[in-house]
Amino acid sequence: MNSIFDAASNATMITRINKLTPESQALWGKMSVDQMCKHTNEAIIVAFGENKIKVNFLMKFLGKILKNKVFNSEFKKNSPTAKEFIFTNKYDFEASRNELIKNFSRFAEGHQSIKLVNHPFWGKMTYEDWDKLMWKHVDHHLRQFGV
């Protein structure tokens, strides 16, 4: 099984990210390719404690209820996105993609790369939880752009 922590799997994902171009078009959804790179990167750096998002009590409760279902099934097209991860501006594609690659590759350093145990939405997270969430999320968006 693929893992963000496995160097070969991690490199495979980065190879896919490198196939994105400024002209890559979404097969579904509203994001442009630069917005998708920004979106996935911002979700990744939550794991490193570098994107501190605030979630109200109701959303925390919802996250805990949905966690097992979401983590153990395929991400659906056009799933809702938390407002903290919606980016509508235009971003420099190369810079956004390079930032995504840089941060995704940090997972290959191993479990010690994860600094956050309690996700603001999902609640308590194991390394396996982070592995599933990050792999599925990035894979979902790369499939969205056909890579």
pLDDT tens digits, residue range 128-137? 999 999 999 9
Report the C-alpha gap between 144 and 123 in whole angstroms. 27
Token pair of 138 as six digits:
């990035």
Residue 34 has pLDDT above 90, yes or no: yes
Token pair of 21 as six digits:
């171009």
pLDDT (0 to 100) of residue 4: 97
pLDDT digits (tens, 9 = 90+) for 76-135: 898 888 888 999 999 999 999 999 999 999 999 999 999 999 998 999 999 999 999 999
Say what the pTM is.
0.92
